Structure 1
């Protein structure tokens, strides 16, 4: 999760949720996100809450699975004591950091803790992120045997000089190997790509897309490089050591990705995500965009239940101290009012293919629809059927579309 935490009220030490979080819980999906905050190398563009040392102020990576399991057990108790019905997780997602920097047995231990405390639906989607150089065939087979269903490899690029700029450590030639091992284990495969890296040409990006498509993954994500304040990359750009990403080139890259992926049989279902079928869409991420409930485990992890959002202390040492003491690791919390929830609903639903029901918009937003159709930003046929769905141009200008849908007049 991003390293910057918002300002809000302190989270209560007991973690209990207000009665408002219970309302409508039976109608909402429930998932679990497990943040593993360790990386072998910190990439220059990354602002996630990650740490590179094997031992951080007395916190050992080998202790982490036990600490996370304590939070999982406590979380199930907090939900029950707050009056929430027991809902088995329909999705579980291990993110980071690099989850697969831990031994496979540690990830299995955490998954077993989710199963014991929250429960997991029989057809649940269980995903881990992985670096291509952090797993082998045996590792992936262990995960699959334990109930993992999906692996998301951080491929990022197939071009060595682009990977070097991003400070990624794997060899592009390893991608076919890890995809093959995942397939042999029975896991679905997603590949994550980044475009717009300083020095990356359109031809470089085309080569990465070709390499990714050749692996026939079930799912692909393609994210434009965003320069986050405080990162090494931001400092390099400020000093003039590397060029700032070119937004026009990034737009060309997005259009190329959409065209090549469509030609290869992939459909977009969220601005940055494509899949081979509806069944291969990321159910966990869709739950985020649709406003579902999830419990976030680990340092800096965010959670959301029934309009209540909270986040954990960031540092692994502070996190360990709290969970070992039986105290909620929550650092801050906010209860969203109806207006804020409405705004966020538009922000999130606008990104997915199904879009936003026109009827759910306030009057100025409904009045903006005609102009957005005229500007080629939303699909006219879908709008006539009652849904605001982005066109390709609209996806490129999604933030602007949202601003017009939320305008007051």
Structure 2
């Protein structure tokens, strides 16, 4: 049995810290994240609570080594000053250590990029910027409720690339009434920016969001599933030919050095701490895997850290079947796939070779030396295939 089968999850597959900054200057109508209007809030109390929460994790996880990555997401962490980012990273380094050359990512809105002290953020420790461009069409940006225009987006990416070696751009496609030829032209415009990493997400309309309510009123008609599938395949083809192949269902990189270290921790079954209101974590302690979510409301999170020393809300020890299903669902997302022996070691039962053989015959997966991987056509069916294999 391989070492991976003996130890099928945990920090040896990567160890990261996710920091959730919940405030936004404007809340987008498609967003269902744990976010709140920034207004004129003083960030200092929440920054200190996040730092204290990170330090508290050290006591729970005494055997964990240094961090492979830190990811500041949100919300809009680019609203933070470099000094606040430096305080958070210092707390992480004091608590666990941050490996030399570790990936330190900060999500940023284009307008913030143009007015932020990027050199200060780099000096604070950030070495990768993820810019929420979302579109290079002004009409689409207006529909998505963004506060920047296409020219501002282009300028922000150029500015980011002058300061940071690794820059990622987020885009949202499969928008209502979006045409394939216009998306092809938009992708060409994006590729001309020259960034080494792209994250492309089909517009997902969630219940309870303004978009979800608009769909219920008949004001928005989501793109039909078949058209979304066509858009996905077009995207894969264009980016593959442009030298940014998919290394995961929604993520494309120019080379392995620009793949997201932090996201690979999620996909490969590593451990990560979640700090900040509503942040999720997965940690392995004493051979058991725990899932937890920090308190969602910033004021409750801060008060709990001040009173109890921790922002943790609910924590759950995961049962073997839940761990196995999560490893399978996440492990199939990257192009590298997952060793089935890991799934079987956790669940204690075999993954159906008959089902795998059918999926191979259909051209949806490859199965080589125990490693199961999705093919490009299989990526369209990732959730359905996972459900079949987990049953």
TM-score (norm 1): 0.87
Per-residue CA deviation, residues 354-399 of structure 1 (Å, 9 max, x unaligned), is 11224455545222111111212113xxx24432211121001111
1:46 matched to which residue of 2?
A: 31
Rate the CA distance shift 1:23–1:172 in 2: closer, same or farther, 3 A: closer
2:305 matched to which residue of 1?
A: 323
Matches within 5 A, 1:206-245: 206-245=184-223
SS at match of 1:392: coil
The answer to whether the Cα contact below 8 Å between 1:148 and 1:187 also exists between their aligned partners in 2 is no
1:386 is the counterpart of 2:364: no
Per-residue CA deviation, residues 198-254 of structure 1 (Å, 9 max, x unaligned), is 232223322331122111111111111111111110000110111123212211111
> Unmatched 5+ residue regions in structure 1?
1-21
The answer to whether the Cα contact below 8 Å between 1:358 and 1:366 also exists between their aligned partners in 2 is no
What is the CA-CA distance between 1:345 and the residue it aligns to?
Answer: 1.1
Q: Distance in 1 between matches of 2:9 and 2:180?
A: 47
What is the CA-CA distance between 1:181 and the residue it aligns to?
Answer: 2.0
1:366 matched to which residue of 2?
A: 353
> Unmatched 5+ residue regions in structure 2?
1-6
2:42 matched to which residue of 1?
A: 60
Task: Select which of 148, 154, 174 maps to 1:176.
Answer: 154
Per-residue CA deviation, residues 327-363 of structure 1 (Å, 9 max, x unaligned), is 3221111111222211111111111111122445554
What is the CA-CA distance between 1:186 and the residue it aligns to?
Answer: 3.2
Q: Distance in 2 between matches of 1:66 and 1:206?
A: 45
Greater mean alpha carbon deviation, residues 269-278 or residues 208-217? 208-217
Per-residue CA deviation, residues 235-283 of structure 1 (Å, 9 max, x unaligned), is 0011011112321221111111111111110121111111011111101
The answer to whether the Cα contact below 8 Å between 1:162 and 1:200 also exists between their aligned partners in 2 is no
Per-residue CA deviation, residues 61-110 of structure 1 (Å, 9 max, x unaligned), is 3432222112122222332xxxx324111100000001011223222221
SS at match of 1:133: helix
2:317 matched to which residue of 1?
A: 335
Rate the CA distance shift 1:24–1:247 in 2: closer, same or farther, 3 A: closer
SS at match of 2:112: coil
Q: Distance in 2 between matches of 1:46 and 1:335?
A: 29
Q: Distance in 2 between matches of 1:395 and 1:165?
A: 28
2:56 matched to which residue of 1?
A: 74
Q: Distance in 2 between matches of 1:283 and 1:28?
A: 11
Q: Distance in 2 between matches of 1:207 and 1:41?
A: 28
Give me the CA root mean square deviation. Answer: 2.0
Rate the CA distance shift 1:47–1:25 in 2: closer, same or farther, 3 A: closer
Rate the CA distance shift 1:86–1:402 in 2: closer, same or farther, 3 A: closer
Q: Distance in 1 between matches of 2:13 and 2:191?
A: 34
What is the CA-CA distance between 1:26 and the residue it aligns to?
Answer: 6.2
The number of aligned residues is 376
Rate the CA distance shift 1:392–1:217 in 2: closer, same or farther, 3 A: same
Greater mean alpha carbon deviation, residues 180-189 or residues 34-43? 180-189
SS at match of 1:325: helix
2:3 matched to which residue of 1?
A: none
What is the CA-CA distance between 1:404 and the residue it aligns to?
Answer: 2.3
Rate the CA distance shift 1:128–1:324 in 2: closer, same or farther, 3 A: same
1:108 matched to which residue of 2?
A: 86
1:187 is the counterpart of 2:169: no
Task: Select which of 329, 338, 353 maps to 1:347.
Answer: 329
1:376 matched to which residue of 2?
A: 363
Task: Select which of 10, 17, 23 maps to 1:32.
Answer: 17
TM-score (norm 2): 0.91
